Chain A
């Protein structure tokens, strides 16, 4: 990969990251500079419209920045083919609204991302089955999303995000559609899996309680980072 900048533990490096919509009338991000290090659990907080979801989109290469640069492991993210490969192999997404495909069972939903990485249907099925076991849904493999509770759907989505062995999980309000009990279960699961698999977790949330569980909390307002603090200074090895 080109443009290596040297800092090996730095997984994302954004410089002057800007995102505009409607020909510049809406500025979602205004020159964000941030580094995220391997294995970190980062919570991004802020009010609606603060730019936190936009930052998550750019980290996940779901959209292009209007200006500035974004490096992943020292490589600039550009080119459509490369980006889909990046999304398929490096990134796992967890959405607030789960976004499971309604006409596919839990087992099939988890197999969907593997079409890009695993040619064998049998191997895809085996891995999906293992992942659903990992999130405690081994008895729900053949259930369609409509037959699953909200918490179960999000657990299927978590299994799907891990399908291709992602090294980064990007979660957009992953507990936002869940009751407090299920929210706790899902958050514990994400945190546990992150620790077990040494995954970098970037989580967007409104909930200060969830943010407190993160190692690092980035607060955003009006498209800018207004604070960037480590909850436990001992873990602040990569802080700017």
Chain B
């Protein structure tokens, strides 16, 4: 018999209470995994979208919305002469309701720009020219909208032909409605406006040179900001608010878990007062009593954390399969997030056990002789 046996017996003494407390922690940790995983997934999705488009630097004006603010297309002319700029592609990207889908990425790209080149046509074709009233759909978008090649798609006031279905190599690309920039500008009355410039640097450009280029762009284009691809979503106030809310909500859920474990461990200490006094009477050090209670609460936290991680992962996968958000993001449930979640649960366990452990250690062994 080891101390672990003593600890597990302590928890198994009241299996229903232990189970309910574990579920409480599990829900808190599942919230951490789900909310943070989704929020990070949003960032990952944008990053992978950039990567597949072959973008090195993004020029945009991330404001309080999830999509960047529009700015005049003519700023491209100020960027192209700068050193290390190989090519640019202007985009107008928006998140809007499209037919049955509540929210869908509509990605309008400069005709002939490099952002078209990563699209692999699965069915049909790309638009013939920038004036053709046609769209191609990412394969997930086609499933969500239930469209095939030959269907029509209502976008704003115009009915557009679906001429192709494409595989963009990233969740964001596959979940998008893709069309030419000039067509969307015309449909939305945003002539001359773009909100993203994808930029490729010349081969062999160093990290430091890319950073210097971003600074230079900042000087010549004060209305937007240039950042290394993948980081631009972090510039979004909306993204920051979502991220902060994810953590805030998660921490609230975790706080509920803390109170649950603390209550359970306090009850355990009160119920086992006699036992703890007997342990002290037969020579257990107070530090061992504290250790026993803390290990019990840590184990409770760890078990709740592991259950929460499983619950969170399953929940997130079920969530992203919902038609409303399918294709918008890929949850980022990496090992570090899952390990952090279990770590949080263990810290919650230990933290929640501190007061009960202190109460347990204050008991006097003479009470063992009573009752």
Residue A17 at the chain B interface, CB threshold 8 Å? no
Q: CB within 8 Å of A: which of B3-49?
A: 3, 5-6, 9-10, 12-13
Question: Which A residues lie within 8 Å of B366 (CB)?
Answer: 57, 62-63
Contact B9 A113 (CB under 8 A): no
Contact B9 A99 (CB under 8 A): no
- Chain A: minimal CB distance from B363 (Å): 11
Q: How far is the CA of A109 from the CA of B278 in the complex (A)?
A: 11
Contact partner, A95, options B1, B283, B285, B369, Cβ 8 Å: B369
> What residue of chain A has the Cβ atom nearest to residue B3's Cβ?
A115
- Chain B: minimal CB distance from A116 (Å): 5
Contact B288 A116 (CB under 8 A): yes
Residue A93 at the chain B interface, CB threshold 8 Å? yes
Residue B157 at the chain A interface, CB threshold 8 Å? no
Residue A50 at the chain B interface, CB threshold 8 Å? no
Question: Which A residues lie within 8 Å of B259 (CB)?
Answer: none
Size category, A interface:
35 or more
* A53-B369 CB under 8 A given contacts A99-B274, A111-B1: yes
Residue B286 at the chain A interface, CB threshold 8 Å? yes
Q: How far is the CA of A77 from the CA of B13 in the complex (A)?
A: 36
Residue B280 at the chain A interface, CB threshold 8 Å? yes
* A116-B283 CB under 8 A given contacts A99-B278, A124-B1: yes
> What residue of chain A has the Cβ atom nearest to residue B365's Cβ?
A62
Contact A121 B288 (CB under 8 A): no
Q: How far is the CA of A91 from the CA of B281 in the complex (A)?
A: 9
Question: Which B residues lie within 8 Å of A112 (CB)?
Answer: 6, 279, 282, 284
Residue B364 at the chain A interface, CB threshold 8 Å? yes
- Chain A: minimal CB distance from B11 (Å): 10
Contact A56 B369 (CB under 8 A): yes
Question: Which B residues lie within 8 Å of A181 (CB)?
Answer: none
Other CB < 8 Å A-B pairs besides A56-B369, A104-B1, 17 of them? Answer: A62-B280, A63-B364, A84-B280, A88-B283, A88-B284, A93-B281, A95-B368, A97-B371, A99-B368, A101-B275, A103-B9, A107-B1, A108-B1, A113-B282, A113-B283, A125-B1, A160-B282
Which 9 pairs show the lowest CB-CB distances between chains A and B?
A88-B283, A63-B366, A62-B366, A87-B283, A103-B9, A62-B365, A113-B282, A99-B278, A84-B285
User: Can you identify 23 A-B contacts, CB atoms within 8 angstroms?
Assistant: A53-B369, A63-B364, A80-B286, A84-B283, A84-B284, A84-B285, A85-B283, A87-B281, A87-B282, A88-B283, A89-B283, A91-B283, A93-B281, A99-B368, A101-B278, A104-B1, A108-B5, A112-B284, A113-B282, A116-B283, A116-B284, A121-B1, A172-B369
